[in-house]
């Protein structure tokens, strides 16, 4: 079940809210937990046991970690981290490891290992990262350990963020797990946020999905084909993932939780560092606080700093998936971050008129290998973007492009650049400052977009969120 489906909108969500608001407040974490587990089990009942097991394991280890003293704290932390990361490594990377090993053995003419594919449990990458952040925060005494299993399990299982984030830290909602506000105003604000995210996903991302698939599948893309593929995916990925995050944040707000923002118009960034301060911000903060700083950050000299940046992004890329493409994408961004830091330390700077398009170009080039199924496909698209197979759009792609896909790309561009105009555009101001027609648009705009998205969803099959595969 996904958010952009009629099963979710007209079956699960009404049932959830009915049970939730009919439950006394002091017991409302129970329906969050039980119905979120039911939401997860809708996909695969057997993998619910894994989610429950990881939750219980982390909860119990955190209790012992909090009670321990001296070196015992470090041992319990290591035990908890190894336990969680071992689960992630087995389900996410075992296939990749065995396949890579078998390819090497086959190249040498040696026997390969027999292997049956392991299915990746949906959302595993996200709820394992939550476990890691919670254990480290308890170890650092940045957050008090949870004494209530129900509260902690509800935090892990909240259905709105369970599958693809944002990566919510326990400290960010610890107080709201015990006491939170509910009001019509808060519920309405959350509903508008949900509807806006729903429209981003269905109207824009899903409309571009067939075009992206067709363009990346071309055996010899032309220059126009290659850039259409890269540009369309750049928009699809943003509106798909930012749409999911908006829906997750909106649903949480309807329940009285305030989740952290995950996107801040990243395609308006003027440096690669700024891009990572605006894109998937909860992951960026996780990589910074729990990996980059732990590696030494920038405290051990410039060379070590560059190595830490590269290693952090390599791990961040590999976290997205067990594929050489993700390692290449991580290396690309790690190298760009190191280069930007060296350039900044040397006093280099660029005017915004150059910095913004160059940053966007670097991001788009990275998205090609991120989207590609393998390095060979990525190289084909790059060759096309360089004009190796001619310039005009190929007939193989032209006949597949529908008018609504051109409209989706155009609308996506407009929505991406609007925030750059700031206060010059009335609807960019705070809702309280909007008057007349702009206030009216703020109130009904998400509703109209949601209706359009629902009509489109009725006319075509639901498309899974891109980040579900990670």
- Catalytic sites, residue numbers: 320
Whole-angstrom distance, CA of residue 146 vs CA of residue 127: 17
Within a 13 Å sphere around the CA of 368, how many CA atoms are in the beta-carbon half? 26
Q: Is the peptide bond before 166 cis (omega within 30 degrees of 0)?
A: yes
Torsion over CA: 236, 238, 241, 246 (sign): negative
Helix (H, G, I), strand (E, B) or coil at 402: coil
- Which of 21, 401, 419, 465 lies closest to 218, judged by CA? 401
- How open is the CA angle 406-411-416, to the nearest 5 degrees? 130
Residues 291 and 312 sit within 8 Å (Cβ to Cβ): yes
Q: Beta-carbon neighbour count of residue 182 at 10 Å?
A: 13
Burial bucket for residue 330 (CB in 10 Å: 0-12, 13-18, 19+): buried
- In whole angstroms, how far apart are CA 306 and each of 205, 309, 339, 358? 35, 5, 8, 21
Residue 363 makes CB contacts below 8 A (sequence gap 6+) with 234, 266, 267, 269, 272, 275
- In whole angstroms, how far apart are CA 465 and each of 143, 163, 245, 252, 283? 32, 10, 11, 18, 17
| CA diameter of the chain | 75
What six digits make up the tokens of 448?
């109209």
Q: What are the φ/ψ torsions at residue 388 (nearest 5 degrees)?
A: -70, -20
C-alpha radius of gyration, the chain, whole number:
23
């Amino acid at each position: 079940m996904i958010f952009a489906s009629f099963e979710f909108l007209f079956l699960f969500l009404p049932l959830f809210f009915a049970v939730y608001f009919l439950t006394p407040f002091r017991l409302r974490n129970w329906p969050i937990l039980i119905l979120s587990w039911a939401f997860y089990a809708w996909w695969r009942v057997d993998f619910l046991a894994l989610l429950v097991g990881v939750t219980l394991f982390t909860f119990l280890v955190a209790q012992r970690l909090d009670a321990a003293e001296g070196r015992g704290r470090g041992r319990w932390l290591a035990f908890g981290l190894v336990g969680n990361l071992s689960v992630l490594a087995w389900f996410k990377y075992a296939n990749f490891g065995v396949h890579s090993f078998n390819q090497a053995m086959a190249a040498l003419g040696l026997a390969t290992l027999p292997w049956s594919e392991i299915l990746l449990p949906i959302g595993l990458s996200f709820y394992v990262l939550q476990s890691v952040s919670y254990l480290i925060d308890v170890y650092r005494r940045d957050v008090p350990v949870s004494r209530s299993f129900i509260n902690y399990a509800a935090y892990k299982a909240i259905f709105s963020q369970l599958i693809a984030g944002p990566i919510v830290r326990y400290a960010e909602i610890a107080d709201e797990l015990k006491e939170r506000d509910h009001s019509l105003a808060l519920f309405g604000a959350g509903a508008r946020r949900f509807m806006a995210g729903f429209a981003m996903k269905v109207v824009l991302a899903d409309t571009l999905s067939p075009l992206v698939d067709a363009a990346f599948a071309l055996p010899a893309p032309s220059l126009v084909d290659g850039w259409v593929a890269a540009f369309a995916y750049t928009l699809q990925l943003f509106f798909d993932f930012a749409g999911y995050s908006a829906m997750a944040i909106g649903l949480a707000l309807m329940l009285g939780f305030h989740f952290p923002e995950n996107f801040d118009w990243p395609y308006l960034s003027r440096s690669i560092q700024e891009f990572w301060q605006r894109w998937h911000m909860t992951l960026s903060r996780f990589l910074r606080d729990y990996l980059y700083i732990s590696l030494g950050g920038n405290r051990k000299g410039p060379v070590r700093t560059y190595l830490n940046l590269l290693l952090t992004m390599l791990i961040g890329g590999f976290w997205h998936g067990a594929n050489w493409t993700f390692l290449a994408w991580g290396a690309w961004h790690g190298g760009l971050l190191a280069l930007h830091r060296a350039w900044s330390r040397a006093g280099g700077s660029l005017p915004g008129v150059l910095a913004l398009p160059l940053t966007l170009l670097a991001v788009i080039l990275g998205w090609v290998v991120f989207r590609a199924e393998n390095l060979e496909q990525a190289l084909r698209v790059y060759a096309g973007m360089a004009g190796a197979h001619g310039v005009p759009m190929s007939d193989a792609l032209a006949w597949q492009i529908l008018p609504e896909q051109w409209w989706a790309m155009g609308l996506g561009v407009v929505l991406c650049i609007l925030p750059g105009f700031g206060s010059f555009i009335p609807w960019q101001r705070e809702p309280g400052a909007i008057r007349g027609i702009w206030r009216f648009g703020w109130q009904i705009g998400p509703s109209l977009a949601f209706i359009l998205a629902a009509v489109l969803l009725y006319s075509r099959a639901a498309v899974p969120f891109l980040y579900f595969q990670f």
